[in-house]
Amino acid sequence: MNTNKKVLALKYRPQTFEDLIGQDIVGETIYNSIKDNKLPNAYLFTGIRGVGKTTIARIIAKSLNCLNGIDKLCKKELCENCKSITNSNHIDVLEMDAASKTGVDDVRDLIEFSRYGPSIARYKIFIIDEVHMLSKQAFNALLKTLEEPPEYLKFIFATTEIKKIPITVVSRCQRFDLSRIKSNELFKFIKNIKDIENGKISDEALKLIVKISEGSVRDALSLLDRAILSTDKNKELDLINAQKIFGYFDKAQLIDLFKLIFEGKDKEVLKIYRLIYDQGVEPKIFLNDFLELLYYFKNINALKIDGTNFSLNEDEFSAIKEISQKVSDETLILFWQFTIKTLEELDLVSNQNLSIEMFLIRLTYLKSLNNVSETIDGDENFKEINISKKKLDNNLKNQSVQNEDLFDLKSKTIGQIKNVSQERQKEQEPVKNEEQKQNIIINSFDDLLNICNKKRELQLKYELEKNVNLVSFENERIEISFNENLDKNFIKNLSSKLYDWTNKRWIISLSKKKGEPSKKEKEINIKKDLNEKAKDSLTYKKVLEELSDAELINVEVGAEDE
């Protein structure tokens, strides 16, 4: 087959362990195990797309079956076995896609096929890609063969979702976690291929390809293939044209947008955003890049240019560093929270572009207000921004806001944000009746039970009687122990009620001491003692003489007896 017709991802696929990119430790470990003939029953490779899982599987298959041995593994002039494995048509090396063959019947056929030894090679090898797609029954059918396979049989699994594979399968394999390829290493690799293919692409455009590929060699080669095909033979592909091809925009535009946000210039902010949007950038991609730049503004002093994954050039790096010195960390964190919230809201609106524009306007007005702080209501995920009235007035005057606009801004925006919590708090404040205003005296545990009964706090009374063991009770201080059935809100509820009833703060402490039996336990013990005494009485013995199968069930205590 003519290799010139192949896409770059296939044309430059590694054929030996030395060709692997960024997986040196994995390659060296496997090479040594094959050389020393210490082979596992099964290999398991996991990692993101395009980092070499299936490629390494084929290299292992060739290393085990090469006619020249692993020390002289075929590189250019391939032996029959290596050639067949490379072309995926070797009779003893079966490649199976678990995504299309997920059932237990497929695995049973595989096991049946494994009973027969290799035809022309040394080992029979099963390579199962996306193995996590197998059904639970299929995995169970594979377990026994996987644990004790014939000497000639080896399994090689590849997956992008290791957590979906049963632990019983993982424990029977030698697992290798393939990492993302480092940016510098991937850049050198695709630059070398660009030179071989006589492509005219600038280094800045190549760095953009590295950034978009996110550590995946296959993605990087696919993008490089696209870049080479998109360029004129007599013209170099620069960063600006590469951004248009791949749907990415210039970070300098986003930095300018940030600067205008911090200056409170909403019209200019929208103008730049619309230019970015007209370049074909999706709102979600814009927000993700927005978050990335927020990260750089917050941490720029702890970063280096070569540590930003080729996201920034020197001019952009310097611009961010200069702007970050004028912006507080609190503002950046607040911006981060609003951006995350907007990402969640995008799926709720039909026109996402309008949502982004309103988001940018909000940030512009937020930044124009001084003394901004943020709190989050956990129940309704409501963000409250407390702004002092004096500072608000000063800032709004500086922005030439008319009195009517000022009134509307306060009543609508701040009223929606700040006064909601105040009104909610006001509504929730309990109105004390005449009984609550009276200070009730509680001197003992029994007094506490009586007041719970009187106030109809039946749940609280139930917890005190059944699940609480009293250790001590004195001077507005209660020390208790409890059993596992105690309600988790008991302490909070009891403290609140005691304060309402007595107008004093009580201390409720938990003790390691066992304490007195609970009221219910005392009642049970009393009844048990009464039953025992009743069984020893003459009356009960006379009843047994007349009725031998009689049984004492309960003893009722009269007022005189008590």
The 10s digit of each residue's pLDDT in 405-417 is 434 444 444 444 4
pLDDT at 189: 93
Distance in angstroms (rounded) separating the CA atoms of residues 219 and 212: 8
201 versus 313: the higher-pLDDT residue is 201
Q: How many helices (H) and strands (E) does the chain have?
A: 26, 10
Question: What pLDDT does residue 310 have?
Answer: 59
Residue 4: per-residue pLDDT: 63
* Residue 558 DSSP one-character state: P
pLDDT band at 367 (very low <50, low <70, confident <90, very high): low
- The H-assigned helical ranges of 389-489 are 389-398, 403-409, 420-428, 434-437, 445-454, 458-466
Contact yes or no for 371/387 (Cβ under 8 A): yes
> Which range is least confidently modeled, 97-106, 421-430, 466-475?
421-430
Q: What is the mean pLDDT of residues 465-484?
A: 85
Query: CB-based contacts of 562: which residues, under 8 Å, 6+ apart?
Result: none
307 or 332: which leads in pLDDT: 332
pLDDT at residue 193, rounded to an integer:
93
pLDDT of residue 326: 83
Instruction: Provide the 10 A C-beta neighbour count for residue 275.
Output: 14
Reply yes or no on whether the pLDDT at 552 is more than 50.
Answer: yes
pTM of the complete model:
0.58
Q: Report residue 190's pLDDT band, with 50, 70 and 90 as the boundaries.
A: very high
| Residue closest to 41 by CA, chosen among 179, 140, 170 | 170
What average pLDDT does range 237-266 have in this prediction? Answer: 82
Residue 535: which pLDDT band, with cuts at 50, 70 and 90? confident
- Are 9 and 218 spatial neighbours (Cβ–Cβ below 8 Å)? yes
Domains along the chain with CATH numbers = 3-177 (3.40.50.300), 183-246 (1.10.8.60), 289-426 (no CATH), 439-516 (3.30.300), 519-562 (no CATH)
Confidence band for 3, pLDDT divided at 50, 70 and 90: low
Coil, strand or helix at 162: helix
Task: Give pLDDT, residue 463.
Answer: 84
Q: Are 73 and 63 in contact (CB under 8 A)?
A: yes
Does residue 422 have a pLDDT over 60?
no
Least confident of 170-179, 252-261, 360-369, 422-431: 422-431
What pLDDT is stored for residue 417 in this prediction?
A: 42
Banded pLDDT at 530 (limits 50, 70, 90): confident
Mean per-residue pLDDT of the chain: 80
Residue 308: band (very low, low, confident or very high) from pLDDT cuts 50, 70, 90: low
* pLDDT at residue 413 in the model: 41
Strands 174-177 and 42-46: parallel
Annotate 219-255 with DSSP letters as a single string: HHHHHHHHHHHHS-TTS-B-HHHHHHHHT---HHHHH
Distance CA(265)–CA(364), nearest Å, equals 7
Average pLDDT over residues 247-263: 81
Percentage of residues in the chain having pLDDT higher than 70? 82
**What does the pLDDT average to over 153-173?**
93
Statement: residue 289 has pLDDT above 60: yes
Looking at residue 368, what is its pLDDT? 52
Exposed/middle/buried for 492, CB within 10 Å: 0-12, 13-18, 19+? Answer: exposed
537 against 192, higher pLDDT: 192
User: What confidence score (pLDDT) does residue 404 get?
Assistant: 43
In angstroms, rounded to a whole number, what is the distance separating the alpha carbons of residues 115 and 112?
6
